[in-house]
């Protein structure tokens, strides 16, 4: 496959959501019916090969049929260095395994999750632990909502 449009994804099956950052990768998964996204884990980045093995291990364990990758678009709609980094990450993932991959606009996802955690009176240390995987779930949920 390659990078595809959200509407071209297989009709059924779970999707894996990724929020790649410079130090971590937030990971979430949907249910097979694509109703809800659930945060899975925050992967501390090491070597790309090791990170990709973990991503595809979760992909296989959850019987996923595609990956939704958060794309950091600037507020004015332009792409910056972070977006280029995500594109490179996607290219490298697709060289490891040919799977359907969807870019999804992640503008304000981390801000929204941070507000939710603050409203829930979550401790700072706990917010730091969960924010990346929660952001991945937020991104994935946006894609799931679009599919409906």
**pLDDT for residue 127:** 53
Residue 108: count of CB within 10 angstroms of its CB: 12
Question: Is the confidence at residue 1, as pLDDT, over 60?
Answer: no
CB 146 within 8 A of CB 6: yes
Determine which of 21-25, 38-42, 58-62, 118-122 has the lowest per-residue pLDDT on average: 118-122
Going from N- to C-terminal start, the domains of the chain cover 6-147
Q: Comparing C-alpha atoms, which of 87, 90, 97 is closest to residue 65?
A: 97
- Give the count of beta carbons closer than 10 Å to the beta carbon of residue 17: 32
What superfamily in CATH does domain 6-147 come from?
YqgF/RNase H-like domain (3.30.420.140)
The rounded distance, in Å, linking the Cα atoms of 147 and 58 is 22
Percent of the chain with pLDDT over 90: 57
Give pLDDT tens digits for 127-140. 566 678 888 998 99
How many residues make up the chain in this entry?
Answer: 148
Asked if residue 17 lies in contact with residue 140, where contact means CB atoms within 8 angstroms, the answer is yes
pLDDT for 129 equals: 61
**Dist CA 122 CA 27 (whole Å):** 20
pTM: 0.87
Q: How confident is the model at residue 102 (pLDDT cuts 50, 70, 90)?
A: very high
pLDDT, one tens digit per residue, over 38-85 is 999 999 999 999 999 999 999 999 999 999 999 988 778 777 888 899
Between 39 and 115, residue with greater pLDDT: 39
Q: What percent of the chain has pLDDT over 70?
A: 82
Separation in Å, CA 51 to CA 9, 54, 92, 111, 142: 24, 5, 11, 25, 24
Q: Which residue has the higher pLDDT, 1 or 18?
A: 18
Name 56's Cβ contacts closer than 8 Å, sequence gap at least 6: 96, 97
The pLDDT of residue 84: 92
């Amino acid at each position: 496959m390659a990078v595809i449009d959200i509407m071209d994804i297989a009709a059924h099956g779970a999707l894996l959501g990724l929020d790649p950052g410079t130090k971590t990768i937030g990971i979430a998964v949907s249910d097979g019916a694509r109703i809800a996204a659930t945060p899975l884990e925050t992967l501390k980045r090491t070597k790309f090969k090791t990170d990709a093995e973990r991503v595809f291990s979760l992909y296989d364990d959850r019987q996923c049929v595609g990956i939704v990758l958060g794309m950091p678009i600037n507020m004015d709609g332009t792409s910056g260095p972070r977006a280029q980094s995500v594109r490179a990450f996607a290219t490298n993932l697709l060289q490891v395994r040919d799977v359907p991959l969807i870019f999804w606009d992640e503008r304000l996802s981390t801000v929204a999750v941070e507000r939710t955690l603050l409203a829930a009176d979550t401790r700072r240390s706990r917010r730091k632990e969960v924010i990346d995987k929660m952001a991945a779930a937020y991104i994935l949920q946006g894609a799931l909502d679009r599919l409906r």
